[in-house]
Structure 1
Amino acid sequence: MRILADQNIPLIEAFFGELGDITRLPGREIDAAAVRDQDILLVRSITRVDAALLEGSRVRFVGTCTIGTDHVDLDYLRERHIGFASAPGSNADSVVDYVLSSLLLLAEEEGEALSERSVGIVGAGNVGGRLARRLGEMGVRSLICDPPRARDEGREDFVDLDTLIARSDVICLHTPLVESGEHATRHLMDARRIAAIRPGSVLLNAGRGACLDNAALRRRLEEQADLRCVLDVWEQEPAIDEALFALVDIATPHIAGHSLDGKMRGTELVYQAVMQHYGLPVRCKLGQIKPDPWLRKLVLTEWAPPLEALSLCVRACYDVRRDMVGFERYRRRLGMAQAFDRYRAEYPVRREFSTLRVDFKKNNNDLREAIAGFGFKVKLAGK
């Protein structure tokens, strides 16, 4: 078989090498000519998979090593009996790490503990659900809005979006992009709702760019400049609104889910689906080939200052400022659109919080619980 894969998907050779010849290309260079003679197509979110790409090709299976599927025409694949798999949940922890690193940075700048703020989470799927659990373990109060899930699961503890906006100090968007229907999410945060956000609040979008009206947000920031904003996803990627980019506090090029661990899990999930589709045995497992993190553990004493210790652990794994500075360096050299893609393609290795173990020589319950709540492994000496 012939396999065409996005060059940013890790471990392709290790997982798929036994199946045939592998070709790698940048995601935006995967076009109809490139896929024509391929049997399997493996993509990430920047490649649009539809009739224009696949019509007349040999492709019989498409895998996207990402959580979302809005870049894939699923109806077309079903009509053509082309196999399909995605990787739901694969990089959810990575996105949560990004959110916590960003919120911790803003809280430090404002001199306010994250635990003192109420966090509204829009979308309670793999990312939003895990974010709510981690915040809960840290004692952070959260409000959740997810109408389809509230209906299907009978969740009376969820709130509507307008209530969430009115009551939250931090608003985190983690919804898929749904174009139409009762629960459409395109411009879910529209001009009216953006205007309703309380001054001094934080607005964070690490879901889908078009769920937030970027032009309306730009106008609010130009006119009032009274929000703190974290944007990892944007409308019109990679040619994003440069005026909005200049106004937000943390601006990154759709890399919240770009941990090596999340990418590797995505590759494994799609590999398993491919093997099942072709009736072949699964011979390769991620645990057999996953590289060790270069930093395995930190040791803290019982008198470690809590906020400083937590910040140290977070930044040892992932400091969001690295991506802010790195992206800006690329932008100045290459221009916005080219920098957006180049930074993603050359993204430095990043490991998730869960790969770092924090050892305590003596017990400090409050600090240990806070660090465990952020997602790190913890161990008390002698246990």
Structure 2
Amino acid sequence: MNKPKVLLSRRWPASVEAKMQSLYDVTLNIDDHPLSADEFKAALQNYDAVCPSVCDSLPAEVLNVANKRCKILGNFGVGYNHIDIAAAKQQGLIVTNTPGVLTQSTADIAMTLLLMSARRGAEGDRLVRAGAWAGWCPTHMMSSDVTGATLGLVGFGRIAQAMARKAHHGFGMKILYLKPSPADPAVVDELNAERCDTLEALLPRCDYVSLHCPGGNETRHLINEKTLNLMKPTAHLINTARGDVVDSKALIKALQEKRIAGAGLDVYEGEPNIDQRFLTLDNATLLPHLGSATIATRTAMGEKVLENLKAYFSGKDIPDRIA
């Protein structure tokens, strides 16, 4: 019996690629280039399973290609707003993701960005590298305290709760969160967390605001000129969620005008083609989508995709099915 044909849209950790190759007829993206719409259409026509990443784009136009062979999209990542789920369901395509395994690494990056933005870490690094540091003085590069400050979390899922634990237990931060319904009472008690019903109630109280909501139409530009104006002028915005949750133009304007103190970003609208004005801002800390980028986490993500494919091809219940 021929092995199922599987396409990986990008390179994965070598150990997971090897496991995939032992089980399936796998095509690797040897030069690791982003696949075009036409390449994805061809993949859907020629493979039993296609494994996209969170930075690929699979709109209805691609998914509706004629003569489809593919039956399952094994997404490498938790987020899936890059896939038109309604179109996938209409086409009978199964979609899976990789929840649970990237919680701590992404929360670590969120805390890294918070600390870098608060203490002007990226700006200081650039100063030293440029040979422009003239030495210590009492008023040089003064910044914001983190210990004891108030952290507001927009969304309160696994990653947000992991960040809250690091912030509360490690830095004594006061935790506020925005969620449609109250969180698990045990978590609330552990973190002494307080729920806010609206952004309007949350934002003015926070020294730091960290975004942990899904992307998509419902949250597109949730952070915009109006909501940025609700933040303290001393506050910092952290985004490790999805780029389109933030209106880039509005954020750049707020940073230029010092209407907020800083921003720490790991994701961007239209990435990797980000608005070049971000590069001119000393009060913006910019990372290249590193949230889950540890060896252990990316390996675990690949293993999750493998588990989902194994379940599908053996006719068992698929553990991480979202469509």
TM-score bucket (shorter structure): 0.7 to 0.9
Q: Is residue 130 from structure 1 mapped to residue 162 from structure 2 by the alignment? A: yes
Residue deviations 1:61-111, cap 9 Å, x none?
Answer: 111110101011222222232222101132221111112222233444446
Residue equivalent to 1:341: none
- 1:162 maps to 200
| 1:140 counterpart letter in structure 2 | M
Secondary structure class of the residue paired with 1:116 = coil
Contact 2:57 2:82 in 1 (8 A): yes
Give the alignment partner of residue 206 of structure 1, picking from 226, 233, 240.
Answer: 240
1:261 aligns with 296
Question: Structure 1: 5+ residue runs without aligned partners?
Answer: 282-383
Deviation at 1:21, TM superposition (A): 1.7
Q: Please state if 1:52 is matched with 2:61.
A: yes
Count, aligned residues: 276
Alignment deviations for residues 98-150 of structure 1 (CA, whole Å, 9 cap, x no partner): 12222233444446552221111111112112111222222221111122x43
Higher relative contact order (CA 8 A, sep 6+): 2
Q: Does 1:146 align with 2:191?
A: no
Q: Match of 1:9? A: 12
| Structure 1 residue 262, shift from structure 2 partner | 1.9
| Corresponding residue number in structure 2 for 1:18 | 22
Residue 121 (structure 1) aligns with: 153
Q: Which amino acid aligns with 2:266?
A: D
Q: TM-score, normalised by structure 1?
A: 0.66
**When you count helix as a share of all residues, which structure comes out higher?**
1
Provide the TM-score with structure 2 as the length reference: 0.77
TM-aligned CA distance change 1:216 to 1:113, over 3 Å: closer
- Whether the 8 Å CA contact 2:16–2:299 is kept in 1: the answer is no
The alignment partner of 2:152 has SS state of strand
The 2-side partners of 1:163 and 1:129 are apart by: 20
Q: Does the Cα contact within 8 Å between 1:32 and 1:52 map onto a contact in 2?
A: no
Listed as ranges, the gaps of 5+ residues in structure 2 are: 121-141, 317-323
Residue identity matched to 2:162: R
Aligned to 1:36: 45
1:267 Cα shift? 1.1
What is the CA–CA distance in structure 1 between the aligned matches of 2:289 and 2:239, rounded to whole Å? 10
TM-superposed CA distance for 1:278, in Å, is 1.6
Deviation of 1:200 after TM superposition, in Å, equals 1.7
Q: 1:89 maps to what in 2?
A: 100
Separation in 2 of the partners of 1:12 and 1:51? 29
Which is further off, 85-94 or 24-33?
A: 24-33
RMSD in angstroms over aligned alpha carbons? 2.5
Letter in 1 for 2:214: P
Matches within 5 A, 1:1-383: 1-10=4-13, 11-25=15-29, 26-29=33-36, 30-54=39-63, 55=65, 56-109=67-120, 110=142, 113-138=145-170, 139-147=172-180, 149-150=181-182, 157-159=194-196, 160-179=198-217, 184-224=218-258, 226-247=260-281, 248-279=283-314
* 2: CA distance, partners of 1:232 / 1:112: 20
Quickly say closer, same or farther: Cα 1:46–1:226, change in 2 above 3 A.
closer
Aligned to 2:124: none
Identity %: 25
